[in-house]
Chain A
Amino acid sequence: MSTKTKQFNEIIKAEAKNLNFYYGDFHALKGLDFKVSEKKVTALIGPSGCGKTTFLRCFNRMHDLYPNNRYEGEILMYPDEINIVGDNIDPIEVRMRISMVFQKPNPFPKTIYENVAYGLRVRGIRGKDIIDERVEKSLRGAALWDEVKDRLHEHAFNMSGGQQQRLCIARALATDPEILLFDEPTSALDPIATSKVEELIVELKKVLTILIVTHNMQQAARISDYTAFMYVGELVEFGDTDTIFTAPTQKLTEEYITGRFG
């Protein structure tokens, strides 16, 4: 792996060190070393099945939900330097600090308000005033407030797909996460909704660290500061997005971004 990057001048938010991951016997991630800069957008790209989503899901321990999954190595989160994937770390604590937005919008079948408030309720936050305030703030943060402020108590399923996805972002924002994970957040959306979500991501990096998996290389080029290219469970190349897209050092990366496979 070649690391041609200005990253070391920045604050590092999280760092994978020799991370391995297994689905049962299948070795899905092979010794990844990787740094995520604070308040930047880092994109993970690569062909289907390369492990980018698997890697993303390590960051909030989603793999713990299913049996026979195993982590090896570490992902350190700063400033307190906890090992996110460590056996002694409670996955719930990790998920409270690192939120996730999924590929398909998955709002709960509840009202818009309750969707956003859920993360707060899980944390035991009661009190209508504080919840009202945080709901409004998150919906504004997700650029959704103006569209829904008059129908907060409507069912979330009545919204359009793009609105639902922004609602999911608001839901993830409500608890002030340190890192926000996006798993191909626009793959189920139309172009207009996609551009809204993209603008939002660029806006959000002012306040938090973002890690995004995307299938769409133009998207990675448009919104990310750093890009990692993965192939069959390995990190092939990592660098700032401009360099990766204009002057990749690895032949495999070049072939992928010029569309010769994938």
Chain B
Amino acid sequence: MKKKIFSKRYIIETMIEGSLMLSAVFSIFITLGIIFVLCYESLEFFKEIPIKDFLTGTVWTPLFANPQFGILPLVAGTLLTTAVAVSVALPIGLITAIYLSEYAPHKFRETVKPILELLEAVPTVVYGYFALLFLTPLLQKVFENLSGFNALSPGLIMGIMIVPYVGSVSEDALKAVPMHIREGSYAMGATKLQTAFKVLIPSAFSGIAAAFIMGISRAIGETMIVAIAAGMMPNFTANPMEPIQTLTSYIVQVSLGDLPHGTIEYKTIFAAGIVLFIMTLSFNIIGFWLKKRIREAY
């Protein structure tokens, strides 16, 4: 609707709207900035290292005298810790969600949920300390061949750390199932357990899948726990007992040193960064898409 008014009020209103809009548009620039910085520096990297060697090489020794730039060990390390984390977070997260949304009394839920949220508030460096100096020695009593740095211990801690996230997204999905669907099941004489597994989980499937996918993405991007407790060894292995290195902890390792701007070693962190970004982005997009489907379902 056109307004032919250029009063003082109109000008002030327009200026305020404009500046609010700029702050919203700013978020687009962050994304563009990320893409630009990652692409710019890694293009420099790929000028020197063929992209095929980078993606298929199984040895990652960029800081050695005779450097080799195969990203697979870092990807493997990332996937290994993620797999450990996810195998803890998914079942516990889903069971917690079902328990909180279907079983727990209202008061219990209202008390427990904020406490669970605190798990996400704990600084990850504190979790790293805990994984390295508490959990690993404890696990070594059970698994004698567990080395001091390993993928298992940080993976487990990461898993518990993302339980509240997986739990709350799953719970939202379960809550979105309309009451009449539950009532239909109860009216047939089903127990809560049967209703949960035979009716609610299938109905809320895409939301729960979104929780899982986004949980995986979080585990892939987690940095400090693995940087502290998983070691800095780019082993190409699937054994969680061994020390490994993830994409994220490699970036930390390099950043801690004093690498001059512009060297090939400096550029490796952007190459590792772009791989990390693409991995998390694809999981996030799938998760986002799945989450959107819940809203459309009802």
Contact = CB atoms under 8 A, between A and B. Distances in A.
Interface string B6-21: 0101100000000000
Contacts of B10: 90
B2 interface: yes
A81 interface: no
Contacts of A64: 1
Interface in A208-229: none
A87 B5 contact: no
Interface residues of A, number: 5
Interface residues of B, number: 8
Contacts, number: 13
A91 to B, nearest CB: 8
Nearest to A69: B1
Interface string A85-121: 0011010100000000000000000000000000000
Interface string B277-293: 00000000000000000
B107 interface: no
B3 interface: yes
A90 B10 CA distance: 10
B23 to A, nearest CB: 22
B96 to A, nearest CB: 35
A87 B1 CA distance: 7
Interface string A67-90: 000000000000000000001101
Interface of A: 64, 87-88, 90, 92
Interface of B: 1-5, 7, 9-10
10 contacts: A64-B1, A87-B1, A87-B2, A87-B4, A88-B3, A88-B4, A90-B3, A90-B5, A90-B7, A92-B9
Given A88-B3, A88-B4, 8 more contacts: A64-B1, A87-B1, A87-B2, A87-B3, A90-B5, A90-B7, A90-B10, A92-B9
Q: Please name the 4 residue pairs, one residue from A and one from B, whose CB atoms are nearest each other, closest first.
A: A88-B4, A90-B5, A87-B2, A87-B1
